[in-house]
Structure 1
Amino acid sequence: MSLSPAEIWDRLRQRARQVLPEQAYRAWLEPTEAIGLDDNTLLVGASDQFTADWNESKHADLLATFAPVALGHPIKIRFKVHQERLGRVQMDMFVAPPPVAVSTAPIVQQPRISTPLNPRYTFDQFVIGKSNDVAAAAAQAAAQAPGKVYNPLFIYGETGLGKTHLMQGIAHELLRRTPTLRLAYVGTEQFTNEFIGAIQAGAMGDFRRRFREIDLLLVDDVQFLKGKESTQEEFFHTFNAIYEAGRQIVLTSDRPPKEIPGLESRLVSRFEWGMVANIDSPDLEHRIAILKKKASLDHLELTIPDEVIEFIAQHVKSSVRELEGSIIKLLAYASLKHRDISVDLAREALRDKLRAGSSSDFPDVPPTTITVATIQQVVAREWGVTPDGLRSKTRTKQLTVPRQIAMYLCRELLALQLVEIGNAFGGRDHSTVIHSLDRVADEMNGDPAFTERVLKIRGMLESLRTTGQLGS
């Protein structure tokens, strides 16, 4: 597929808009236009020499890094002044434009306490599967009737599975219908930092007005509220003010409310008032659909064969973000090597991302002898219980401690996802696995004897990588 210079430039500029401050994008890149393609160099016209020089030094290299993904091949960017503009006074971009007719209606400023929304994080670009269908349906319902259903909406799951995408999808949908929407989209750390700054500046009244008089509150990673008593107190009152006004609240976390350590019970209760929805890791078919959607969005259907997409989906299982990162790395690798994309090239480029359990695809990589069953066997024998007991539903202390240690070692040695660990131990849910991992980590920090015992088992298991057998 051959693209015109204007189409190439449009793709690269859209990429730049996602990473540059909006003001910088509008000032320096928006007024430019593609004027030609010379061999493998895109010529971009600027209004004056100052603008061309600035873009050349500040943005040319950045824009070039987007090319392998946006275009499927590398390209250089060169800025120059339009020939018809050479006679103009330099820096005319700073001259006020001629007046245009405007509406006499008062302009309503749109209050924003927000990091920029990702233009790709919309509902129509979210791929729905059985691992996220409940969360997606709840997000769409909240966007259709904000403050009426699923308020608050609490979405939890591991990093990179789409929580933030759904959260921003709600914002995009509501802003599309109501451009004057008062929006606050922040991470917990930003809320905390602004709260501290307001205390130091004696500006708590302004802080509270800004956060409590908005229509949509979006807060990412609320698990970081743990242990911050004053911030939790302020967030509690902010939550109440917005909720009682019938406005929408959306929260995300890596675990459900009850599993967030150090979170006040009154906040846990409020977070559970509406809808708590989980996002799990996508299955194979879902991963293939996600990769095909990304290829379509980036116009890479003809660049990445279906068998390569299926190969990546079979081996990269950790998160949606990891899947997308694999595509980017593969495109860059193919560009550097000047080779067409194939399964063999993907195997070569993504070796570090492919799971140890898929070693049959790599004949030069020795297979590991450590498996979940092996870990369960070793831990069970050390604690004098049975592997079946670790997989059972029984919750006696005799089984709970070794079960938690076995889960911890599965995470440490096999890098399994939480849902995979839960399935291997009797179908336990995401939150139970998180609790087990946290409990073992806490015990190891405070109990040297416990730590020594866990490390001894870990050493025995790691020795299997070289000896291939378990000592008696």
Structure 2
Amino acid sequence: MSLTAESVWNNCLEFIKDNIQPQAYKTWFEPIIAVKLTENALSIQVPSKFFYEWLEEHYVKILKVALTKELGKNAKLVYIIKMENTYGNKQPFTEKIPSSNRTAVKSQDVDIPLNNKSPELRNPFVIPGIRNVKIESQLNPNYSFDNFLEGDSNRLARSAGLAVANKPGGTSFNPLLIFGGVGLGKTHLAHAIGVDIKDKYPEKTVLYISAEKFTQQYIDAIKKNNRNDFIHFYQIIDVLIIDDVQFLSGKSGTQDVFFHIFNHLHQNGKQVVLTSDKAPVDMQDIEQRLLSRFKWGLSAELQTPDFETRVSILKNKLYRDGVEMPEEIIDYVAKNIKTNVRELEGAIISLIAQSSFNKKEITLDLARIIVEKFVKNTKREVSIDYIQKVVSDYFQMDIDTLQSKTRKRHIVQARQLAMFFAKKFTKASLASIGSQIGKRDHATVLHACKTVDNLSSTDKQFRKYVEDITKKLSV
């Protein structure tokens, strides 16, 4: 049987899968596409320069072994990097060739030169009239890597954050975009990166700012005819950290000025860190040229912490506060509050406060009362699994049928509705929704959401499906 690129790569994957952790395999090997096989050289396509560098640094040995088993000792691996732009060049163990799909976007950039270095430079963070160009970082020193506990849900984002802190502007993670739902630690991690950089590189100018405040400063600059000063100020920053970048949605003027600032910083080797409640692919009303820049580096998702991580977070919090608590109570809180870290810590603070103010011993009964009140007052977060169950029950089918490959119209519609509601009721990325609902890709989920919107406005029966399921999910 003649060898093909796919068959060789599939055999390599079988070997790799048996020798690394499932999560690592899913993250670093599932996205790779086998492109072509020429004699003893296998070409594979990877999504970004960062992706390629990570493989070279962490999995080069296992790739060599797997490929040698398939193609012999003269085996070569050729990387095809499909991306929009790249800086620097690091040779892999064989060779790297750029993709013909890469587009040269730099020629379209418009940059405003940094030509205002006088002490008159206006700093939007100081009171007008006071001559002061010292830039305070606006960082919270309480947010550090030490108290940002690592788990499966945040390992990639935390590792990338540490890499950026060790070498700001000198890694492929530029920009580093950290995204995820409410209370999962995006702001904490963003501050931790800045705090660590200030500690290691005190001479660097680090600035943390929310996208909302950045927008307000820009509006003020326009009112005072200070637009250029505003841009110049941000162009002297070495590490710019912008929180909740999705707030720029629909604000074309602010997006435009941020585009120029971003280009200047990036082209001069400065570090940009962004946080968002959505992945770039899910952001609405953000200009395409800006979204493409968000994808230049790494987008790392923070997910809901698992039980073990939740227990570690609680123990760390108690240790820092000098409070002792029985294991069974910690376990009870961790089992019953699953949504996010903020609520988890809030519940334990409430428990300590109740015990302290009312001079009550911290018991399991007291924990039950606190947790019950806490959960009641917290908006329930609907999971993708729960949505699939509700939709399956509504159409009287099992979940396996809903997730199957069948093209029967009523099953396809049920699957599209599950995807639509997963996007509406959860913070999960399109890729994550597709993966959980029948292993589809993000484009399928996007198509499903558009189809549901269209049918809802044209088909009376379908509109009733949407209304009925919305009521069931909103209970």
Q: Is TM > 0.5 for Structure 1 vs Structure 2? A: yes
Once the two structures are TM-superposed, the CA of residue 336 in structure 1 deviates from its matched residue by 3.8
Distance 1:451 1:240, change over 3 A: same
Distance 1:416 1:217, change over 3 A: closer
Which of 199, 207, 211 pairs up with 1:176?
Answer: 199
Once the two structures are TM-superposed, the CA of residue 201 in structure 1 deviates from its matched residue by 0.8
Give the 3-state SS of the residue equivalent to 1:352 in structure 2: helix
Residues 1:390 and 2:386 aligned together: no
Query: d(CA) in 2 for partners of 1:416 and 1:428?
Result: 17
Contact 1:109 1:180 in 2 (8 A): no
Contact 2:180 2:303 in 1 (8 A): yes
Distance 1:393 1:152, change over 3 A: farther
Distance 1:146 1:311, change over 3 A: same
Query: d(CA) in 1 for partners of 2:333 and 2:451?
Result: 33
Once the two structures are TM-superposed, the CA of residue 180 in structure 1 deviates from its matched residue by 3.9
Matched residue, 1:380: 395
TM, length-normalised to structure 2: 0.62
Aligned residues: 333
Give the greater-gyration-radius structure (CA): 1
Contact 2:419 2:433 in 1 (8 A): yes
Between the aligned residues of both structures, percent identity stands at 38
Contact 2:416 2:445 in 1 (8 A): no
Matched residue, 1:426: 438
Residues 1:155 and 2:178 aligned together: yes
Matched residue, 2:134: 110
Which of 334, 349, 353 pairs up with 1:332?
Answer: 353
Contact 1:408 1:437 in 2 (8 A): yes
- Cα deviation, 1:144-173, whole Å, max 9, x if unaligned, reads 111010111111111111111111111111
Distance 1:460 1:287, change over 3 A: closer
- Cα deviation, 1:422-454, whole Å, max 9, x if unaligned, reads 77633678x789969986997799779565442
Contact 2:416 2:452 in 1 (8 A): no
Query: d(CA) in 2 for partners of 1:443 and 1:188?
Result: 33
Contact 1:187 1:219 in 2 (8 A): yes
Once the two structures are TM-superposed, the CA of residue 380 in structure 1 deviates from its matched residue by 3.0
Query: d(CA) in 2 for partners of 1:129 and 1:433?
Result: 30
Query: Structure 1 regions of 5+ residues with no counterpart?
Result: 1-107, 357-369, 466-472
Contact 2:144 2:196 in 1 (8 A): yes
Distance 1:448 1:224, change over 3 A: farther
Residues 1:405 and 2:417 aligned together: yes
Once the two structures are TM-superposed, the CA of residue 353 in structure 1 deviates from its matched residue by 3.4
Contact 1:110 1:181 in 2 (8 A): no
Q: Give the 5 Å matches for 1:35-434.
A: 110-112=134-136, 116-149=138-171, 150-300=173-323, 302=324, 304-354=325-375, 372=387, 374-381=389-396, 387-392=399-404, 401-406=413-418, 418=428, 425-426=437-438
Contact 2:208 2:241 in 1 (8 A): yes
Q: Which amino acid aligns with 1:144?
A: N
Distance 1:444 1:295, change over 3 A: farther
Contact 1:155 1:163 in 2 (8 A): yes
Give the 3-state SS of the residue equivalent to 1:148 in structure 2: coil
Distance 1:188 1:389, change over 3 A: farther
Once the two structures are TM-superposed, the CA of residue 343 in structure 1 deviates from its matched residue by 1.4
Query: d(CA) in 1 for partners of 2:232 and 2:376?
Result: 49
Query: Structure 2 regions of 5+ residues with no counterpart?
Result: 1-131, 378-384
Once the two structures are TM-superposed, the CA of residue 184 in structure 1 deviates from its matched residue by 2.3
Query: d(CA) in 2 for partners of 1:181 and 1:397?
Result: 59
Distance 1:139 1:455, change over 3 A: same
Distance 1:438 1:336, change over 3 A: farther
Cα RMSD for the two superposed structures: 3.6
Q: Which amino acid aligns with 1:312?
A: V
- Cα deviation, 1:192-228, whole Å, max 9, x if unaligned, reads 1111111111011210111111111101111122221
Query: d(CA) in 2 for partners of 1:279 and 1:217?
Result: 20
Contact 1:315 1:355 in 2 (8 A): no
Contact 2:180 2:428 in 1 (8 A): no
Contact 2:416 2:449 in 1 (8 A): no
Matched residue, 2:10: none
Query: d(CA) in 2 for partners of 1:126 and 1:236?
Result: 31
